[in-house]
Amino acid sequence: MPEMTVIDALLEQVIDVPVRDVIIGLYDVLVESCDVGLASTMLRPRDGKFITIRNFGKLTEMRTAELAEYLRSDNLLEAAIGMATVNSSLPRPPSDSFVEINARELLIERGKDKVVGIIGHFPFVDALRMTARKVLVFEKIPREGDLSESDIPSYLPEADVVGLTATSIINHSFEEVMRHIKPTAFVVMLGPSTPLSHVLFDFGIHALAGTLASDVEKLKREVKEAVPFKFLKSVRRVIWFKP
C-alpha cells in the first residue's frame, strides 16, 4: 500500500474546475462539475444538534479543488460532499474500461464456496449466504447475525473475498480496514460513493463497482426526491477491474 493516504491520492487526481451544482438529498449527495459525482449522504446527528456545513449556500461559488478538500473533514456530511466532488471531477477512464456487471453478481460469483467479508450490511447479504461457505458482515450498528466494527481485526483476515463500502473513505476508516485484509483476498469496493479512479488499485482494490450518470437531469430529480440508490434509474452500474 502506498505511503500517502487514499484521500491524498484521490485529491491529486481532481481536475480543478468551477462547481456547477450541489444537491444534498436524503440518500445521496450529487455534485456536478466536469461530470456528475455521487456519494452516500452521511447524516449522523451529534448530541441532538443539527449538522451544519461550511460555506452553506455558497457551495456552487467554489471550485472543485477547494470543495473536494471537504473529504478530509471529520464532519461526515462535509466529507460526503467532498467525496461527491472528487467523483465529479476525476479524469474519466476510457469507456471500454468498464464492464456492466452488478456488484451483487460479482460477489456471489467470486464468493461461491468461499469465506466472504462484507463491510456494511448490503441488501444482497442473504443471497450471498446461499452460495458462500461463510459470510461475515461487519456493521457500525449490527443487525441480527452481523458482527460489529470492533470485530474486524479478529474475523476479517479469514475472508477470501471482501466487499468494502466506499463510505470507508468518507469516514476515514479505509486504511485501518485494509490492514486486516489478507494479501490473497479479492477486494471489491462498492456503493454510490465509489471513485472510478485507478489510484484505488494501488491500495489493494481489485474491482471498483461504481456508477456513471446516464441521464443527468433525471438523476438530479431522483436525488432531490429521495429515491434510494438501488432504485435509481438514471445511472449505469459498472465495474472496473484492476488491469
Smallest Cα–Cα separation from 133: which of 117, 152, 148, 149? 117
Q: pLDDT band for 44, please (50, 70, 90 cuts).
A: low
> Looking at the 3D structure of the chain, how many domains does it have?
2
In a domain, 135, yes or no: yes
DSSP 211-233: EEES-HHHHHHHHHTT--GGG-S
Q: Is residue 220 part of a domain?
A: no
**Domain shared by 120 and 69, yes or no:** no
Supply the range of the domain harboring residue 73: 6-88
**Tell me, what CATH number does 127's domain have?**
3.40.50.11590
Residues 79 and 177 in one domain: no
User: Which residues 6+ apart lie within 8 Å of 162 measured at CB?
Assistant: 116, 117, 118, 119, 156, 181, 185, 186, 187, 188
Residue 228 maps to a domain: no
- Give pLDDT, residue 46: 52
83-95 pLDDT, tens per residue? 999 999 999 888 8
Residues 101 and 23 in one domain: no
138 is written with which cell numbers?
461487519
Among residues 53, 73, 88, which one ends one of the domains? 88
Residues 138 and 188 in one domain: yes
Same domain, yes or no: 83 and 108 = no
pTM for this model (two decimals): 0.91
- Domain end residue (candidates: 42, 70, 88): 88
Looking up residue 19, the CATH number of its domain turns out to be 3.30.390.100
pLDDT of residue 62: 95
How many residues would you count in the chain?
Answer: 243
- Residue 48: the pLDDT is 53
Domain assignment present for residue 186? The answer is yes
pLDDT in tens, 66-76: 999 999 999 99
Q: Which of 35, 55, 88 is the last residue before a domain boundary? A: 88
**Does 160 map to a domain?**
yes
- 3-state DSSP assignment of residue 149: helix
CA separation for the pair 31, 67 (Å, rounded):
10
193 and 154, same domain (yes or no): yes
Average pLDDT over residues 106-120: 93
Within a domain: 225: no
